[in-house]
Structure 1
Amino acid sequence: MTEPTILAIESSCDETSAAVIRGGKVLSNIIATQAVHEKYGGVVPELASRAHQQNIIPVVSQALLTANVTKSELNAVAFTKGPGLLGALLVGCSFAKSFALGLNIPLIEVNHMQAHILAHFIEDPKPSFPFLCLTVSGGHTQIVLVKDHLDMEIIGQTTDDAVGEAFDKTAKMLGLPYPGGPMLDKAAATGNPEAFQFPVGNMPGYNFSFSGIKTSVLYFLKEKSKDNPGFAQENMADICASVQQTLIKTLLKKLVQASKDLGIKEIAIAGGVSANSGLRKTLQDYAVKYKWNVYIPAFQYCTDNAAMIAMASHFQYLKSDFATQYVSPEPRMKF
Structure 2
Amino acid sequence: MRIVTRPDFDGIVCATLIYESENINESILWLEPSKIHNGASEIKQGDIMANLPYDKRCSKWFDHHISNQINTKFNGAFKIAPSAAQVVYEYYKTKKKLKKDFNELVKETNIIDAANLTKDMVLYPEKYPYILLSMTIKNRDKQDPPYWNKLVSFLRKKNISRIMNDFEIKKRCETVIKENKAFIDILKKNTIIYGNISVTDLRNIKNKISGNRFLTYLIFPESIASIKIRHDYKNQNIILLSIGSNIFNKCLKVNIGKLLSKYGGGGHAGAGGCSINAETADKKLNEIIKIMNQEL
TM range (shorter): under 0.3
* TM-score (norm: length of structure 1): 0.26
* TM-score (norm: length of structure 2): 0.28
> Larger % of helix: which?
1
Larger RCO (alpha carbons 8 Å, 6+ apart) = 1
Q: Looking at CA atoms only, which structure, 1 or 2, has the larger radius of gyration?
A: 1
